[in-house]
Structures are given as structure tokens and as C-alpha cells.
Amino acid sequence: MEFAYGGAEGRRPRSFSMAGLSLAVARGEILGVIGPNSAGKTTLIRLVTRVLTPRAGDILLSGRPLGRMSAWELAREVAVVPQEAPPALRFTVEQLALMGRYPHAPARFFESAADRAVAEVAMAATGVLELASVPVEILSGGERQRAMLARALAQEPDLLVLDEPTAHLDLRYQVACAALLERLNRERGTSILLVSHDLNLAAQLCDRLLLLAEGRIARLGPPAEVLDEELLRAVYGCEVSVDINAAHGRRSVQVAWPRR
Amino acid sequence: MVPTAARLALVLAGLAAALLAVAMLALLLGSAPVSATAVLRALTGRAESGSIESVVALNLRLPRIIAAVLAGGSLAVAGVGFQALTRNPLAEPAVLGVSGGAAFGVVTGQIFGLGPTILAALGLAAFAFAGALLAAGAVFAIASAGSALSIQTLLLAGVIVGIFFSSAITVLISVLDFNRLGGVIHWLFGNLAPVPPGPLLLFALLTATGFWLVLGQARALNLFMLGEETARQMGVDAERLKRRIFIGAALLTATVVAFAGPIGFVGLIVPHLLRGWLGQDNRLLIPTALLGGGIFLLAADTVARNIVAPAELSVGVITAFCGAPFFVYLLRTRARSLL
């Protein structure tokens, strides 16, 4: 599966534009999208899921233009886990997971037994199977996020898009989330597009990073190339230092906090 | 507990049985005493035609019962629709000012001389529908002036639009025919009356249309609860959903107002009770609201007919007496949260 932009331009209400984007997500890859606020990370997600359409250029999914696909076709291949589940959802975890089956048979009124089986597998994969009858609103932040992830997995997508998946999670759940994503990628071959503020998570998890700045690509490549002190300093506008972790060989980014 | 066709069928069967029971009771109770055997004779066609029992049971009470069921069901389904659309448990036709707009439409239509024949009833319903759409459009326009649809703004806008239309009605009647003002104000409470067979059939058809429009979106509505953007990313055609629910709920409201005047709070109480029993899944709520609303309004109308017999209260008075405290209760427990 391949996602390719050819010089796409998108517009957001507050005269923001992205231009000259040209990138492809390879099958089975974990691509991290990083960058400052208003760099266009969420706009990118919206372009990829056709919530926004580019003014120029094409977005292709496995070679097919996004504009020619029906909303259901797109939802069968791309699933998004938003930053937060809406509050006060009285649906149970199982009902939420089952919603992910909608694009596969939108004309059906109730889900089929086959749908329920897929939802069960999805819940098991994200470790919320034993919470199946629990209303989503009383779950903890980490559990709620895993329930939303189960819903996305039930769509059986080729590409999973996650918007700030660890934003509201404590350390333990951050680690669990990273491990889960890595396992999903490895076992199912699902491509993952991950938008995150957490540079260290991105460094750890992703095969390649896309650094966005003001709607343009600042750099695209493996973490070793993208997590460069000079570049990060220029893009983020603050002092950072990048250490190479001796134990794992991975880079970690440290911010220089103001001295007291 | 996952909703399935079997579960829905079971719940509907239970509600249908309850509805039949309440309907039988309504046939028996009233200011004209009619015994159970007499009613049965009338229903099975064995009473002499023109006898008191058959007239009361068949020509007076039965049409009124059917109208009550249709009206209650329509209002409850419209309530579910508006609540899902706005993700707000306090949204219902009266609160949103939609009933007010429809009432204005009806009064305007009556000024043009539309009366009780079937074609005229269709015309009245059309006027009511136009008024309902106008009111709903105004409310949504006012409330969306910011970015998202906030609960407070929506409710305020609804109350304001409702008051506006009520005032407009009063002005219109006062200017055109002041003697009718008392009658119109009484009508504004919402009253059920025996509807002649032709218009009653029209009532049923319009209810069926509105119901079908809303029911068709039931599954997509569940996804819509996750947020419009998320629903779109899951393949929901959000614009079509909003259009159909909007039009369906407005049609249901307008139909009731055209045949019975603006009855409030059914769309608030019944969906809430059903949600407590069945959960949030609209595929269960919408069909059960049709029956549950019917039961509720039929019961309310039976009380209205009998409580100060031989005089009658407006059914809207009964629903308001139940509804106002219920509304306060909802405000205190749920206003912060969405559905």
C-alpha cells in the first residue's frame, strides 16, 4: 500500500497552507509526523482521510486517487484514532468496537455475527476484551484510548492513523501504547501514520520521521537524519540537545529548560 | 449487551402489548360511561349502528386514541433525532422552538381558510412544515454563530425562537380576528381530538415518512456520537445524515402540530426513559420511541379527558406538568455532559 502526495496543497480556515508536499508511506512502515503546533500535522491527517481536499495535486491510496473512492472504501483502508474519545459515551466497549464495522456493510441495520467476531479480535488485540460490557465513559484514559484503537482495528485498515496517541496517558500507558503499536505493525503488517508531540516516542517507534514546519516538509527520513540538533533548533525555536542512547542506539531529544 | 434484531423485536413486542392495554383502557374510560362488553361489541361490529356505544367508541374515542398514539410516537422520535443530532439530551421540538414555528405555520394556514378536509389538512401540514423548518433553521443559525454547537446557546436560541413565534401568533390573531384569540391560546397548549378518517390516514402517512427518514440514519447516528469528524472518517455521509434527521424530525413535529397543536415535553421525557432502559443505541431507541411515545401521550390524554370530567384538560397541560420538573431534573444531572 502506498500513500503518495504529489505537491498537494491544502487550506485551513485561518489562511494556512501546505505546499510542495511529496511523500509516500510504504507498506508496513511506521511513519511519524512531528513538528511544532500549527505546522500542519492535523491538517495532514485531514487530507489523508479526505476531511479536507487538496487544492492541487493528488493523494493516492495504493495507486488510486482519494477523490475517486467512496467514503466507505476509504474507511475500509484507513482508520483514525483521534486524540480523545468524546466524553460521556454510554456505549460499551464492545458497541464501540462494533462501530468500526460500519464501512464494511453500511446498508446493514445490525452487525452480523462475522462483524462481532472481528470486533472481538480487535478488542483482544488491544487488551480490552474483558471490558467489553463496560460503558466507555467510566474507563480510565488509557483504557478509553485502547477502546478507540479497538474500534479502529475493527475497520481492518491497511493504514492506521493516530493523532497524539500518548497525549493524555501516564508513563505506564505510554509504554504500553508504544508496545501495542509496534506489535500490531509487526504481527499484522499494518502501516502506521503517527502524529506526535513526543519526539522520543517517535524516535523509538518510527521507521521514518516527517518533520513539518509551517506547512512544508523540513525533513523526511530515518530518525537519525531528522533528529538533528541544528534542524530541531531551527524548526522548534528553542534549545534542544540530542543524545544518542548508548544502550539502545536510539536518539533522545532533551529540551534545555530555563535555568532557575 | 449488543443490540440485535432479536432483542429489538422482543422489546417492541412488549411495548406493543403495553400499548394495546393502554388503548383498551382509554376506550373504556371517559365521561360517557361505556362498558367493556359494549366496547367489544362495537369493535367487532356487532353493536347496532348509531348506538351510543359504537358512536362513542368508534367515532370519538378510537380516532382520538389513534391520533394520540401517532402524535406521541412522532414527538418521541423527533426528540431522539434532535437529541442525537445536537448530542444534547435536552433538545426536543418544543425546547428547540420547532413546535412554535410549526404552530405559526398552522395559524397562518388557517388564516388562508384551510380547514378539516384531507386536502386542507395536507395544506396545513405543509404550512406547519415550512414553519418548523424556518424555526429550526433560525435556532441552528443562532446557535452555530460560534464554532461548535454549545448546549446553552442551543437551548437559549430555542427558547427565544419559540417565544418569538408564540408572540407572532398572538399578534397575527389579535390583528386579524381578536375574538379568536382565546381559542388560539387554548389551541397553543396542544389538544387531541377525534380526527376524521381521511386526515387520520394522512397523519399516519406523514408520521411514517418522518419515521422512515430518521430510522434510516439510526446506525450512522451512533457513529455521529463520536464526533462529526470521526464519523466522517468512518465513512458516514455527515451532510446527508444531518439533512435527513433535520427534515425528518421537523416533518414529524410539523405533522403533530398540524393535527393537534404544539404538544411539548414528550420528546424530552420518553427518549430519556428509553435511554435509561435500553442504552444509547439509536437503532433501538428510534423504533421503541415510536411505540413508547404513543403509550405516553395516550396515557396523558386519557388523564386529560378524565381528570376533570365532564370537562377536559388540554393534553399539553398534562405533558407540561410532567415535563417541566423533568426538565429541571435533567438540567441538574446531565447538562454538563453530552448524550
Which pTM was predicted? Answer: 0.88
Q: Which residues pair with A251 in a beta bridge?
A: A244
When pLDDT is averaged across residues B77-97 and rounded to a whole number, the result is 89
Evaluate if residue B185 carries a pLDDT over 90: no
Task: List Cα–Cα distances, A190 to A24, A101, A121, A178, in angstroms.
Answer: 15, 17, 15, 14
When pLDDT is averaged across residues A240-244 and rounded to a whole number, the result is 85
Give the percent of chain A with pLDDT over 90.
31
A–B interface: beta-carbon pairs under 8 A: 87
Among A110, A98, A111, A113, smallest CA distance to A154 is for: A98
Helix (H) or strand (E) run with residue A216 in it: strand A216-221
**Among the partner residues B5, B219, B280, nearest to A91 by beta-carbon distance:** B280
The pLDDT value given to residue B262:
92
Q: Which three cell numbers stand for residue A225?
A: 537524519
Model confidence pLDDT, tens digit, residues A35-79: 888 778 888 888 888 888 777 777 888 778 888 888 899 999 999
Inside any domain, residue B338: no
Please name the residue of chain B whose CA is at the shortest distance from the CA of residue A86.
B226
Evaluate if residue B251 carries a pLDDT over 50: yes
Residue of B215, B229, B234, B277 to mutate for A, most A C-beta atoms under 10 A = B234
Task: List Cα–Cα distances, A224 to A182, A199, A210, B27, in angstroms.
Answer: 19, 12, 12, 82
Q: Is A42's Cβ below 8 Å from some Cβ in B?
A: no
* Phi, psi angle pair for B96, to nearest 5°: -85, 5
The pLDDT value given to residue B310:
79
**Among the partner residues B222, B233, B283, nearest to A80 by beta-carbon distance:** B233
- The CATH number of the domain holding residue B148 is 1.10.3470.10
Evaluate if residue B266 carries a pLDDT over 90: yes
**CB spacing of A51 vs B279 below 8 angstroms:** no
Evaluate if residue A15 carries a pLDDT over 50: no
Rounded to a whole number of angstroms, the distance from the CA of A12 to the nearest CA of chain B is: 14
**CB spacing of B232 vs A71 below 8 angstroms:** yes
Residue partners of A125: CB distance under 8 A and separation at least 6:
A150, A153, A180, A184
Evaluate if residue B284 carries a pLDDT over 70: yes
Task: List Cα–Cα distances, A180 to A142, A146, A151, A165, in angstroms.
Answer: 12, 9, 15, 11
Model confidence pLDDT, tens digit, residues A132-143: 999 998 888 888
Rounded to a whole number of angstroms, the distance from the CA of B23 to the nearest CA of chain A is: 30
Inside any domain, residue B39: no
The pLDDT value given to residue B114:
63
Model confidence pLDDT, tens digit, residues B220-241: 999 998 988 899 999 999 989 9
Among A165, A107, A158, A117, smallest CA distance to A141 is for: A165
**CB spacing of A91 vs B281 below 8 angstroms:** yes
Model confidence pLDDT, tens digit, residues A160-206: 999 988 887 888 888 888 898 999 899 888 899 999 988 888 888 89
Give the percent of chain B with pLDDT over 90.
47
Sign (positive or negative) of CA dihedral B54, B60, B61, B65: positive
- With bands split at pLDDT 50, 70 and 90, how would you rate the model's confidence at A11? very low
Inside any domain, residue B280: yes
Evaluate if residue A6 carries a pLDDT over 50: no
When pLDDT is averaged across residues A226-242 and rounded to a whole number, the result is 86
Within a 10 A sphere around the Cβ of A181, how many other Cβ atoms? 23
**CB spacing of A108 vs B219 below 8 angstroms:** yes
Domain that holds residue B293: 5-21+51-333
The end-to-end CA distance of chain A, in Å, is 50
Inside any domain, residue B40: no
Q: Which residues of B touch A75 (CB under 8 A)?
A: 233-235
Q: Is A98's Cβ below 8 Å from some Cβ in B?
A: yes
Model confidence pLDDT, tens digit, residues B196-221: 888 899 999 999 999 999 999 999 99
Model confidence pLDDT, tens digit, residues B23-51: 988 888 877 777 777 777 777 766 666 67
Q: Is A133's Cβ below 8 Å from some Cβ in B?
A: yes
Q: Is A91's Cβ below 8 Å from some Cβ in B?
A: yes
Rounded to a whole number of angstroms, the distance from the CA of A60 to the nearest CA of chain B is: 16
- Distance in angstroms (rounded) separating the CA atoms of residues B163 and B142: 15
- With bands split at pLDDT 50, 70 and 90, how would you rate the model's confidence at B146? low
Q: Which residues of A touch B286 (CB under 8 A)?
A: none
Q: Which residues of B touch A76 (CB under 8 A)?
A: 235
Inside any domain, residue B26: no
**CB spacing of B233 vs A51 below 8 angstroms:** yes
- Distance in angstroms (rounded) separating the CA atoms of residues B339 and B320: 23
Residue partners of A172: CB distance under 8 A and separation at least 6:
A142
**Among the partner residues A74, A92, A99, nearest to B223 by beta-carbon distance:** A99
Evaluate if residue A131 carries a pLDDT over 70: yes
Q: Which residues of A touch B3 (CB under 8 A)?
A: 95, 110
Considering only CA atoms, give the Rg of chain A: 19
Inside any domain, residue B28: no
Inside any domain, residue B31: no
**Contact of A33 with A44, CB cutoff 8 Å:** yes
Residue of A77, A110, A149, A159 to mutate for B, most B C-beta atoms under 10 A = A110
Number of structural domains found in chain B: 1
**CB spacing of A82 vs B230 below 8 angstroms:** yes
Q: Check if the interface score ipTM surpasses 0.90.
A: no
Inside any domain, residue B339: no
Please name the residue of chain B whose CA is at the shortest distance from the CA of residue A85.
B226
Rounded to a whole number of angstroms, the distance from the CA of A50 to the nearest CA of chain B is: 8
**CB spacing of B234 vs A111 below 8 angstroms:** no
**CB spacing of A102 vs B218 below 8 angstroms:** no
Mean pLDDT estimate for chain B: 86
When pLDDT is averaged across residues B180-192 and rounded to a whole number, the result is 83
**Among the partner residues A80, A90, A100, nearest to B280 by beta-carbon distance:** A90
